[in-house]
């Protein structure tokens, strides 16, 4: 066995342990909240030794902030790619909202971590959370600006509208996750959120381009 292969295998094992702890931490933080969660909870869930945790992370707060950054990037990229996959405002909003809801359904712990867990509890997270919200608002604002330039919606303060989108979508997604059968409600919720977003922007295009059932 070459030195390279041995080193690569060692690196992969280390990466697997680190990933396992981060995955476990998302679940633990989402379930218990930042303050109640302990390092022992995380290592127990990840099935690793407590010394392994401290090999990678100096403390719980460092891990939490790192998780927040990674999950925020994941969500933002998914929404941004979905919005950019369409060229007209109704379907840009629809696809962006669908991406958000899909992640919420399949990774509810990620959404809990971003929107609930740790908010106000971790001082070092304040700046990062503000950055995340700013990036999210920008994603929603961009198609609104384009729609104005195309004459699809009247001139308006797109920053304020995008801020309203961000807050309203968060609230709707959290309420959806609390529903007894969120999978069944998801499609209707996406369509209603998209229609709300179009009305809020005073979109008056033909009804045929309004959100309808999509795959």
Q: How many residues does the chain have?
A: 215
User: Does pTM surpass 0.75?
Assistant: yes
Residues of the chain within CATH 1.10.357.10 domain(s) are: 59-204
Instruction: State the pLDDT confidence band at 32, using cuts at 50, 70 and 90.
Output: confident
Residues of the chain within CATH 1.10.10.60 domain(s) are: 1-57
Which pLDDT value is given to residue 101? 96
Residue 145 is encoded by which pair of tokens?
């600006």
Spatial separation of the C-alpha atoms in residues 184 and 20, rounded to whole Å = 31
Above 50 in pLDDT, residue 33?
yes
CA distances from 123 to 27, 134, 200, 202, 214 (A): 21, 18, 34, 39, 41
Spatial separation of the C-alpha atoms in residues 169 and 98, rounded to whole Å = 11
Tens of pLDDT along 89-125?
A: 999 999 999 999 999 999 888 888 778 766 667 777 8
Q: What is the mean pLDDT of residues 179-203?
A: 94
Domain 1-57 has CATH 1.10.10.60: yes
Lowest mean pLDDT among 108-112, 170-174, 176-180: 108-112
Spatial separation of the C-alpha atoms in residues 180 and 84, rounded to whole Å = 32
CA distances from 24 to 43, 65, 158, 172 (A): 8, 15, 39, 26
Which class does domain 59-204 fall in? mainly alpha
CB 79 within 8 A of CB 96: yes
């Amino acid at each position: 066995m070459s030195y390279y292969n041995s080193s690569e295998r060692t690196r992969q094992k280390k990466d697997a342990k680190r990933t396992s702890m981060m995955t476990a931490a998302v679940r633990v933080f989402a379930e218990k909240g930042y303050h109640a969660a302990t390092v022992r909870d995380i290592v127990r869930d990840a099935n690793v030794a407590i010394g392994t945790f401290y090999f990678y992370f100096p403390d719980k707060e460092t891990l939490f902030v790192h998780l927040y950054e990674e999950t925020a990037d994941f969500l933002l990229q998914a929404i941004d790619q979905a919005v950019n996959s369409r060229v007209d405002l109704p379907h840009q909003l629809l696809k962006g909202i669908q991406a958000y809801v899909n992640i919420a359904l399949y990774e509810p712990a990620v959404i809990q971590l971003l929107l609930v867990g740790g908010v106000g509890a971790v001082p070092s997270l304040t700046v990062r959370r503000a950055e995340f919200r700013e990036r999210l608002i920008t994603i929603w604002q961009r198609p609104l600006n384009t729609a104005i330039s195309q004459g699809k919606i009247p001139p308006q303060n797109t920053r304020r509208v995008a801020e309203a989108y961000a807050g309203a979508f968060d609230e709707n997604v959290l309420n959806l996750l609390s529903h007894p059968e969120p999978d069944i409600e998801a499609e209707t919720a996406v369509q209603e959120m998209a229609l709300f977003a179009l009305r809020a922007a005073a979109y008056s295009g033909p009804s045929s381009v309004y959100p309808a059932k999509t795959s």
